[in-house]
């Protein structure tokens, strides 16, 4: 005899068996109802029903006996797992409704809007997301949202014309690793920030921060939307989106992409990103034409506000590309540097480094050749190329390992560090430090730029940012002096001093001093020089004194006095760095690692 007991307090809705009926283990014998939900109760074994103890409509308590069963076969303590039903030929009505509703969110449902977009030479938000993400990996969040305008528009209108409330959001794999993706849709209400797409943004940013996932933002759009009416809001200045987005700073890599027009709130989010990738035809500004005109500042076309050429030269844009296809490719490439080492790589020709620095110590050269000679082939990605050109900054790989690279630029002010270059270098150090990338610095500088004109640019504050940023580094740092290593500027390029890095080496062309040799001679030997009549004899004495200073500050002497660690063959530089990177360790973060937006 087996008893079937009720799993919960409920009402008997329907008996499916009567006394005398034969049942098998797992058969449904009675339907109970509790809290408006029906529960199927299954037979614990095979046999024949002996007695039902409750009638339909009666209430049964938890664990009370519902029926007794004369066991005719081995009883089962638990019903077997039911098999999946056979696939139906037709889609169920509830599923069909979902399929049709999702179809309205796709580009195919809005051919006219897509055609207008393509006529501008631009891609849709969904096309950009598809190109960015690994195939089949995008899981969309909030696809069924519509603009909060039900009080002024029909549901059909909203579904057809405001899909996803103008923003595509979701999780995806990029280069095989998960990331959060957000894309304002410029074909929906001009890519403006609506009530519900703010909610979608906040939801996704919270998940990204919780799980430490990178974030990629397509930021095209016109900022706040005044037309949403379905909520009791006056100004909407309490929305958490901007604080939530800013909270990602230093926690996860954040990439912003701009094409077309990016103004106001969209631009504010873009400005919070670690790196900004923008197309040549983009316009980026904290206010669009309407806001500018409304402020009484004049009437301008959108193309006149923050054009890409201006924003690249002033440092807003990190990577300038031709179109959205290049922008997406650059975003995938940038993000890969923060997704770990690469198993495959090609080493450059090491011997070529011997000829990077000219034998004539007064001849300029392009130090990017040294970067190319150290990094894996085709791995370099330069950042902020239009701004602070006195120092090159680039992401690259050495032996497959991602690194950040700094290099003095002798083609600009002879490599002297001005305010813009210092800002660029300091922020780059913060970027690499926050996300754990070792730093390699290639030094060829006569020092910080000086003079009345440069001091009008707050040089004192700007250049000192390099010392402060370097003092807070937790990542390995390696310095290579290619030629000139003079004064405070050289120390700033070496993380604050030549003994601050994990290693400081020099090429044979290295020369050192507290200041430039020529200036040191003119100041230190002024009396001696003035004692000789002006002309060829004075110039000859000057050259002799410079040569003496050069010999004293040669790389070999610096190494002999242990002020640097070694003088090496340029062809051995990559090997030095590979071995150093293998030995050095990144310290754990002990506090917030903010990256200056500038």
Task: Indicate the pLDDT class of residue 522, thresholds 50, 70 and 90.
Answer: confident
419-434 and 459-471 helices, crossing angle to 10°: 20
Give me the pLDDT at residue 153, please: 86
Q: Which two tokens stand for residue 491?
A: 């120390």
Give me the pLDDT at residue 75, please: 45
Average predicted confidence (pLDDT) for the chain: 91
Domain covering 2-71, topology:
OB fold (Dihydrolipoamide Acetyltransferase, E2P) (2.40.50)
Which residue in the block uniquely carries the two structure tokens 């293998």?
Answer: 582
Q: Residue 348 class from Cβ within 10 Å (0-12 exposed, 13-18 middle, 19+ buried)?
A: middle
Average pLDDT of 39-54?
A: 90
Average pLDDT of 5-15?
A: 93
Average pLDDT of 489-500?
A: 96
Give me the pLDDT at residue 235, please: 65
Give me the pLDDT at residue 357, please: 97
Task: Indicate the pLDDT class of residue 182, thresholds 50, 70 and 90.
Answer: very high
Give me the pLDDT at residue 81, please: 66
d(CA 104, CA 48): 54
Average pLDDT of 479-494?
A: 96
Give me the pLDDT at residue 358, please: 96
DSSP state of 417: B
Reply yes or no on whether the pLDDT at 344 is more than 90.
yes
- Whether the Cβ atoms of residue 397 and residue 425 lie closer than 8 Å to each other: no
- Whether the Cβ atoms of residue 148 and residue 142 lie closer than 8 Å to each other: no
Give me the pLDDT at residue 236, please: 66
Reply yes or no on whether the pLDDT at 475 is more than 90.
yes
Reply yes or no on whether the pLDDT at 73 is more than 60.
no
User: Does CATH number 3.90.226.10 belong to domain 350-510+554-583?
Assistant: yes
| pLDDT tens digits, 250-277 | 999 999 999 999 999 999 999 999 999 9
Reply yes or no on whether the pLDDT at 249 is more than 90.
yes
d(CA 482, CA 374): 13
Domains 94-336 and 350-510+554-583 share a fold: yes
The larger pLDDT score, comparing residue 316 to residue 82, is at: 316
Average pLDDT of 95-121?
A: 93
Reply yes or no on whether the pLDDT at 78 is more than 60.
no
Give me the pLDDT at residue 527, please: 81
Residue extents of the structural domains in the chain: 2-71, 94-336, 350-510+554-583, 515-552
Reply yes or no on whether the pLDDT at 74 is more than 60.
no
Average pLDDT of 17-36?
A: 91
- Whether the Cβ atoms of residue 29 and residue 15 lie closer than 8 Å to each other: yes
| pLDDT tens digits, 346-402 | 999 999 999 999 999 889 999 999 999 999 999 999 999 999 999 999 999 999 999
Could you say which of 3.30.9.80, 3.90.226.10, 1.20.1070.10, 3.40.50.720 is the CATH number of the domain covering 94-336? 3.90.226.10
pTM for the predicted model, two decimal places: 0.85
| Alpha-helix residue ranges (DSSP H) falling in 120-253 | 125-132, 155-161, 195-211, 241-246
Task: Indicate the pLDDT class of residue 239, thresholds 50, 70 and 90.
Answer: confident
Give me the pLDDT at residue 76, please: 44
| Lowest model confidence (mean pLDDT) among 68-72, 88-92, 276-280, 519-523 | 519-523
Give me the pLDDT at residue 538, please: 84
């Amino acid at each position: 005899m087996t008893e079937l007991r009720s799993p919960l307090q409920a009402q008997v809705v329907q008996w499916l068996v009567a006394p005398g009926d034969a049942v098998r283990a797992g058969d449904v014998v009675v339907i109970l109802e509790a809290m408006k939900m029906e529960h199927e109760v299954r037979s614990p074994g095979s046999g024949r029903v002996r007695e039902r103890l409750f009638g339909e409509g009666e209430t049964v308590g938890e664990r009370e006996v519902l029926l007794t069963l004369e066991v005719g076969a081995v009883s089962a303590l638990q019903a077997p797992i039911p098999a999946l039903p056979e696939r139906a030929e037709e889609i169920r009505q509830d599923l069909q409704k979902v399929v049709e509703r999702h179809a309205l969110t796709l580009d195919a449902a809005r051919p006219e809007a897509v055609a207008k977009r393509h006529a501008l030479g631009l891609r849709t938000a969904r096309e950009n997301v598809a190109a960015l993400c690994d195939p089949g990996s995008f899981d969309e969040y909030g696809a069924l949202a519509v603009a909060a305008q039900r009080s002024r528009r029909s549901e059909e209108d909203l579904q057809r014309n405001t899909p996803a409330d103008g923003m595509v959001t979701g999780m995806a794999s990029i280069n095989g690793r998960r990331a959060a993706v957000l894309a304002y849709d410029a074909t929906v209400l001009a890519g403006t920030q609506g009530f519900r797409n703010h909610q979608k943004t906040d939801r996704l940013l919270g998940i990204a921060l919780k799980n430490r996932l990178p974030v990629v933002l397509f930021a095209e759009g016109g900022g706040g939307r005044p037309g949403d009416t379905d909520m009791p809001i006056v100004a909407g200045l309490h929305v958490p989106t901007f604080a939530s987005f800013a909270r990602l700073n230093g926690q996860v890599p954040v990439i912003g992409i701009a094409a077309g027009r990016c103004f106001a709130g969209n631009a504010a989010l873009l400005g919070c990103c670690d790196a900004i990738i923008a197309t040549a035809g983009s316009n980026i500004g904290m206010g669009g034409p309407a806001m500018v005109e409304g402020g009484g500042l004049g009437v301008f076309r959108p193309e006149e506000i923050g054009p890409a050429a201006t924003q690249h030269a002033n440092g807003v844009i990190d990577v300038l590309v031709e179109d959205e296809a290049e922008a997406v490719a650059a975003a995938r490439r940038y993000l890969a540097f923060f997704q770990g080492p690469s198993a495959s790589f090609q080493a450059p020709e090491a011997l070529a480094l011997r000829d990077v620095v000219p034998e004539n110590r007064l001849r300029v050269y392009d130090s990017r050749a040294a970067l190319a000679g150290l990094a894996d082939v085709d791995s370099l990605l330069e950042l902020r190329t239009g701004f602070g050109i006195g120092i090159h900054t680039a992401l690259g790989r050495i032996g497959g390992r991602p690194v950040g690279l700094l290099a003095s630029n002798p083609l600009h002010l002879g490599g002297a560090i001005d305010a813009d270059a210092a800002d660029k270098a300091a922020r780059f150090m913060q970027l690499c430090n926050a996300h754990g990338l070792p730093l390699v610095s290639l030094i060829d500088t006569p020092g910080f730029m000086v003079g009345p004109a440069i001091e009008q640019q707050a040089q004192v504050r700007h250049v000192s940012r390099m010392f402060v940023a370097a003092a807070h580094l937790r990542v390995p740092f390696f310095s290579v002096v290619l030629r000139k290593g003079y004064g405070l500027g050289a120390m700033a390029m070496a993380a604050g001093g030549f003994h601050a890095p994990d290693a400081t080496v020099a090429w044979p062309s290295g020369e050192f001093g507290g200041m430039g040799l020529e200036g040191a001679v003119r100041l230190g030997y002024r009396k001696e020089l003035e004692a000789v009549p002006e002309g060829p004899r004075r110039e000859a004495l000057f050259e002799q004194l410079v040569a003496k200073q050069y010999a004293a500050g040669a790389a070999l002497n610096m190494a002999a006095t242990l002020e640097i660690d070694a003088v090496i063959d340029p062809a051995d530089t990559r090997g030095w760095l590979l071995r150093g990177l293998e030995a050095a360790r990144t310290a754990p973060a002990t506090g917030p690692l903010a990256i200056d937006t500038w």
